[in-house]
Every structure is written in structure tokens, then in C-alpha cells.
Amino acid sequence: MILMNRKKRIGIVSLFSILLIVAVGCGNQEDAQPESNKLNVVTTFYPMYDFTKNIVGDKAEVTLLLEAGTDTHSYEPSAKEVAAISNADVFIYNSEEMEVWVSSVLESIDTESTVVVNASEGVSFLEATEGADEHESEEHQDEVDPHIWLDPVLAQEEVSNIQAGLIAADPENEEVYETNAKVYNEKLEALNQEFETAFNGATKRTFVTQHAAFAYLANRYNLEQVSIAGISTEEEPSPAKLAELQDYVEDEGINYIYYAEISSSQIAETLANETGVELEILNPIEGITTEDQEKGIDYIKAMENNLTALQKSIN
């Protein structure tokens, strides 16, 4: 009899435990429900992520594929990352000229369930040689320069394209997206005005950079970018080109050579050591670290830092 009561008690406790687990599980599902109802947006690299975050506010979950420090030019998505794109409500990328892997990935994406946003839609691209003068490597003359986000005016066009894609995927929040995009584009226009004011009337308008990422910025503000290497961060100049650039730096009285933190500064250091000039950072904003984001560094702040750095050469 005692044994039977113990069994019953154990059975009752077990049943209660199961019911409690189920109840807690249901409660957790209810708590998580608002998050699961949000738009799921996947972006490729940092500018696309930051632009999108400023538009969606709290109406979407936005994820970033490429971590800071990843070479955007040579990146290839993993199977897990392709699955994340496929499962997204919206997939946002800069251009097939930048994310060269996108065209093949899109072949496996159901565009009926995933809205695909090419943020550069309608933008006229520069050839890789434009803005980098005669020093640009001949082997890259047919390349298209994909770094359009470094022009604050073209960045506004990208924001508008992203806004349109988000509305197509989530028309219920159209007003939120339109309002947020308008506010953010006003900030980008204020950034544009900062650059215009800073360089207005400058007589020395040339800057030397290791990575040829700033042709759009140079084109917008009537500056001249002279690059040591080409579009790719992995490209290295020949000894003859380095010698030519050494003469150029000395003849033109160049005082600074710019490099990006995300790539090796060895080439820039070599030229700087040979010519006795200083090194300075110019950020292509292809990746902002989590630590920098926590310090308040975003696209606009990084561009303002670029402006401060460029003013050392443009005067």
C-alpha cells in the first residue's frame, strides 16, 4: 500500500513537472512572439547594415554577414550564410561589382519569399581608373569601382533604394520606413555639406592612398586620388610603380600617405619610409568592429573622421 502511494505521488509530481515545463515553454513562446513577427533582414557588409538599421528602427531584426576585418572583395559565403539569406524576408547588398558572389547565390534564392535589394540600383559606376590618375595599374583599367557608399550623395540614393525594398516586404510599416529614411538622408546631406565646406577653395587637392577606394569621394568634391595599389586590398604594386610614386610624392610635396586599418599598411609604410612622410588612416568603412560601434562609431562618424584626416592633405 505504501509502495502504491509512493508511485502515485511520483506520478503526480512527474505530471505536474511536465505541465509546468509546458506552461513555461508556452509562456516563453508568447514572450518571444513579437520578436519572431519582426521583419528578418540580412545585409552583406557594414554600410548596408548601418543604412538599414537607421531606416527600420525597431521594426526589423537586421543581421550582418561579413564581420569586421573580412576582405569584402574576396569573401565567399558559407552554406550556413547562404541559408540565412534564403530564409530572410529581405536581403540587401551594395552591388554585384562589390559582392561578386551575389549573382550565383541569387540563383538559389526564392525571390517570391525574399525581397532582394540592390542598393546601387540606378547609380552610374566609375571605371576603376577614374579619380586615381595615370598612376593606376593598367591591368585593372577595365574594372568597375564599387565603393559608391563613400560619396555621401550616392549613399542617400542607396538609402532610398533600401527603403523601397523594405516597404515592398513590409508595407504595413511604410510610414515608419519613409520617415526614418528621410531623417537619415538629411543627416547624410549635412555630411555632404561638411565635406563641401571643408574643401571649398582648397588649392592643394591631391591625396595619396594605399587602397584605391575613394574615387567617388574624390569625384564628388573635385579632389584627386593617387593610389599605390588598386581596387583590391590584396593587390601589390610593382617595384617600378613604387619608384614612380616615390618621385611623385617628393615632387608634389605630399605630406601624408593614407591606409586602411582593415588591411596591411606595409606598402604604405614602405613608401612613407622612402619619402619621409607621415601615415594617416582613411577608412573605406567596409567593416566597423563591434568595439568601435559600442564607442559610437558608425558610418557618419567614420566619414567625419575621414574628413578630418583628408584635411591634412587638402588645403
- Predicted pLDDT of residue 67: 84
Q: Is residue 115 part of a domain?
A: yes
Q: What is the CATH number of the domain that holds 241?
A: 3.40.50.1980
- Predicted pLDDT of residue 95: 96
Pair 183, 248 in one domain: no
Cα separation, 88 vs 33, whole angstroms? 17
Q: Is residue 131 part of a domain?
A: no
- Predicted pLDDT of residue 313: 96
Pair 152, 289 in one domain: no
- Predicted pLDDT of residue 86: 96
Pair 92, 218 in one domain: no
- Predicted pLDDT of residue 143: 82
State the DSSP string of the chain.
-HHHHHHHHHHHHHHHHHHHHHHHHHHHHHHHHHHHTSEEEEESSHHHHHHHHHHHTTSEEEEESSPTT--TTT----HHHHHHHHH-SEEEES-TTTSTTHHHHHTTS-TTTSEEEETTTTPPPEETTTTSGGGS-GGGTTPEE--GGGSHHHHHHHHHHHHHHHHHH-GGGHHHHHHHHHHHHHHHHHHHHHHHHHHTT-S--EEEESS---HHHHHHTT-EEEESS-SSTT----HHHHHHHHHHHHHHT--EEEE-TTS--HHHHHHHHHHTPEEEE----S---HHHHHTT--HHHHHHHHHHHHTTT--
- Predicted pLDDT of residue 267: 81
Pair 227, 268 in one domain: yes
pLDDT in single tens digits along all 315 residues of the chain = 333 443 433 343 343 343 333 344 444 433 333 355 899 999 999 999 999 999 999 999 999 999 877 778 778 999 999 999 999 999 999 999 999 999 999 999 998 999 999 999 999 999 985 333 444 444 444 489 999 999 999 999 999 999 999 999 999 999 999 999 999 999 999 999 999 999 999 999 999 998 899 999 999 999 999 998 776 655 677 788 888 889 999 999 999 999 987 666 778 888 888 889 999 999 999 988 888 889 999 999 999 999 999 999 998
Pair 174, 211 in one domain: no
- Predicted pLDDT of residue 131: 35
- Predicted pLDDT of residue 4: 41
Pair 159, 186 in one domain: yes
Residues in Cβ contact with 230 at an 8 Å cutoff, skipping those fewer than 6 apart: 128, 136, 137, 139, 140, 143, 212
pTM of the model: 0.83
Q: Is residue 18 part of a domain?
A: no
Query: In the chain, how many domains are there?
Result: 2
Structural domain harbouring 105: 38-126+147-190
